[in-house]
Amino acid sequence: MIKQLFKNAGFTAGLLLLTVILAGSAFNTHFFKEDLQNISNEEYYANKPEPPSTEHPFGTSQGGIDLFDLVLSQTFPTIKLALFITAGRMTISLFMGFLYGLQYRKLKWLDLFIEGFHFVPATLLAFLLLLGLNFMNFEFIMENPEFRWYFIAYTLIAIGIPTLLQLIGKETNLALHNEFIEGAKVLGGSRTHILVKHVIPSIRGKIILMFSGQLIAVLTLMMHISILGFYIPGWTAFIGSNYYELMVSPWIIFFPVLLFALLITSLTLLTNGIRTVLDGDYQKRRPTLLSSSSIRTLSIKKDLTL
């Protein structure tokens, strides 16, 4: 499968684009990052944003800080937080989804409750839940600055679990109806054995697609809630805290939005490449139903019938 992925143009292009973003960020941050500690408060407020120039191709932000250096330094915090939220969603949803799929007949009534989450925008749901931060003790939040980030991260994890566990549960239940799993049950295979040896391998490709899809959804959601005022580390916080500059100094927003769009594009290309390869494998497996052994079996049955 790995060789097939690298032969896929979309997957290769997405991987190359993602590598350029990460490598460029790491290289620039390590060797060329501007030292912001030497900038005093007076200098910060005295130096106004400047448009793109030969010295600063993407312009400067408040304080005369080069936007190229500033935004690239926020690449890894953005991706790390998105991966943390996505991994949290997937881990919890996989555990609950497998249980849901194994007991689908008994838990099918939960679909009525979960279906509601499909019609409520994730941004609106996250906004309503995060409003609780505004009513918390201000001194407590100031004394525990990490509490705000953890609260936001865990909230974004929680709102994605219902629909994701339902999807995993239905995929698990669908896999349980395959003929080879029915055969494993007849031979005395336990539910744990069937889940580990048969169900998970049969849907692991879809799990990979779910992870990449969730990563894109999480990045987009991070952008939305940052614009609504709930800033989190990385590009999204920078865009959310400077979106008002769009009419005054649009270059401040242009570069981080460009990088964000390139990151989403690379992940989309990777996801589409994986989906194409998986669909190709499925199409290749279909003719095995008419393999020589299968045809021989069918001919024997036909002879016996005659």
The string of pLDDT tens digits covering residues 32-86 is 665 555 666 666 666 777 788 877 778 887 777 778 888 888 888 889 999 999 9
Residue 40 is assigned to a structural domain of this protein: no
Residue 227 lies in a domain: yes
| Beta bridge partner(s), residue 66 | 60
Average pLDDT over residues 113-121: 81
Q: Is residue 140 part of a domain?
A: yes
pLDDT at 303: 45
Tens digits of residue pLDDT in 212-258: 889 999 999 998 888 888 877 788 888 877 777 777 788 888 888 88
∠ at Cα 62 (65, 236), nearest 5°? Answer: 85
If one compares 75 and 297, the residue with the highest pLDDT of the two is 75
H-type helices in the chain, by residue range? 2-7, 9-31, 41-46, 67-72, 75-102, 104-107, 110-114, 122-130, 138-143, 145-175, 179-186, 191-194, 200-227, 235-242, 251-285, 292-305
Ramachandran assignment for 63, one of left (phi > 0), alpha (psi -120 to 50 degrees), beta (any other): left
Listed residue (3, 10, 6, 9) closest to 271, CA to CA: 10
CA distance to 35, 48, 73, 125, 259, per residue, from 32 (Å): 9, 22, 10, 40, 18
Per-residue pLDDT averaged across 200-220, rounded?
Answer: 87
Region 121-126: what's the mean pLDDT? 88
Integer CA distances (angstroms), 180 to 68, 159, 184, 273, in order: 55, 35, 6, 29
Q: Do 192 and 178 form a contact (C-beta atoms < 8 A)?
A: no
161 vs 153: CA distance, rounded Å: 13
In sequence order, which ranges of 103-137 are alpha helices (DSSP H)?
104-107, 110-114, 122-130
Residue 35 lies in a domain: no
Whole-number pLDDT of residue 82: 92
CA dihedral 243, 264, 218, 141 (to 10 degrees): -40
104 part of a folded domain: yes
* 69 found inside a domain: no
**Would you say the C-alpha torsion 199, 205, 206, 212 has a positive or negative sign?**
positive
Q: How many domains does the chain have?
A: 1
Domain that holds residue 176: 83-242
Asked if 21 and 75 count as a contact pair (C-beta separation under 8 A), the reply is yes
Answer whether residue 43 is part of any domain.
Answer: no
Contact 252, 59 (CB under 8 A): yes
* Range with the poorest average pLDDT among 13-27, 124-138, 211-225, 281-295: 281-295
Q: What is the pLDDT of residue 46?
A: 65
Predicted local confidence at residue 292, as pLDDT: 40
pTM for this model (two decimals): 0.80
Spatial contact of 7 and 281, defined as CB atoms under 8 Å apart = no
What's the mean per-residue pLDDT of the chain?
A: 78
3-state SS, 59-93, equals CECCCCCEHHHHHHCCHHHHHHHHHHHHHHHHHHH
Residue 297 has pLDDT above 50, yes or no: no
Q: Does residue 185 form part of some domain?
A: yes
Tokens standing for residue 250: 């649009």
